[in-house]
Structure 1
């Protein structure tokens, strides 16, 4: 089915950058739509507590701020579509055609805000046991591990934030890190290292997940000695970075070798006039909620300026 309406701005992705772009675009009286294939909020929606967003000295629950962002964007007229965009094509009249499985949409501008997805370890049995003890979201799955022992892989802020959260349920949280020091912020390091439920294994990686119908353990490999050990655990939580959700625009806009969209010029415009990028999908993004929101604002204002000229 073809939706004959021509939109001013269509935004792909409903995380912090996408919903902020929607807020600013709709407040500028632009006909604005937003596509989100899962739930609005992106990574915020699966973050237990956001402690570094200005104006919330006690922190704010991730799902709460996501819901309020959506409500605010809808208040000013943004239309949310819970669907996946499958293709983008620029037409001769300089509008863009976006296709989902069931409809075609036309827009004068596009804002790419698809973000990034959790990176897997890509070790044997990881994929098979995802959802059966292997997880990439402590906020989503932590309660299933009440009274159990879990392993957390990673050394950045996400790994420690989620590891600390897991101590609410698990009796023991073992953080496995490939280096001998953490990359996380000092305050998170202090919290983790002083938590009696958290211990660390350094210079080590997970070689394999063990289990048939559920996680029963992992095989660990020390990178200095090359020695492997069997480590018994009930769950494996992986926080080793993200990969950009840019498959949709491969061959449409310029990217770097890792798949991040290049939009580093004025106004966050990509290599295609009328297409802008904001948030974690963009090469050079800082990967923080506050900067994602700022980029969403900038992309919307740039789209507005593009439409006015």
Structure 2
């Protein structure tokens, strides 16, 4: 297998992960027996493209809230039960000089042998520019953590929100959109409207069944994945949809190695799976909105 495709398949396999929620609605991202809860925390941040506030709670008691955007940690807005947090609290934008202190706090909140949960909400305050803050890739490199690795048997972090948002609002990570109509045709038109950033795509079922475009190696991986995991994909999309089978478009965050995002959309029973160069949020939103015209 081409090593460059591994991060892509990691994102695809994330669709079959079943999210577990604690009382109160927080999503469990690391169980008590998870060997590396800190990796799960960083992966949750890495999947957050648009501005969100992520509150991490450890079953041992401490809590930490971060404003994140564009796979960067912008600032720390709250810390409970974490000694030394004052060095990062009250900082408008975290910079390189804060990274060591932040890493110590992340290690403390993601202590082994304790369940780790995350709650996502609107970003705490302004200043969502993705050119500032501390890149999660830098933090992962310093901690020797592979953001693309997914350990079998442990909870995956990609599905951050239990329900998608409407196109008019700011989508959470993964970005997800719903059209105003439920016409089960038009996925090929959607792919065409997406433009060249959609470097590979495959449609199964519906009027456009069998249509695809892009490098054959990528198409082959998409086809194999859908053949093996179609039911899991449908279950995950249903978990993100207001009703089972409803139209939905989900965009999973870009990988660090090759800058690809993963597109998974459905109109009625017809799904499309694709590989997007870079973020692609704006192109996805524009193309998805066009289906309702």
* TM-score category of the 2 structures, normalised to the smaller one: under 0.3
Return the structure number with greater strand share. Answer: 1
| TM-score relative to the length of structure 1 | 0.24
TM-score for the superposition, normalised by structure 2 = 0.25
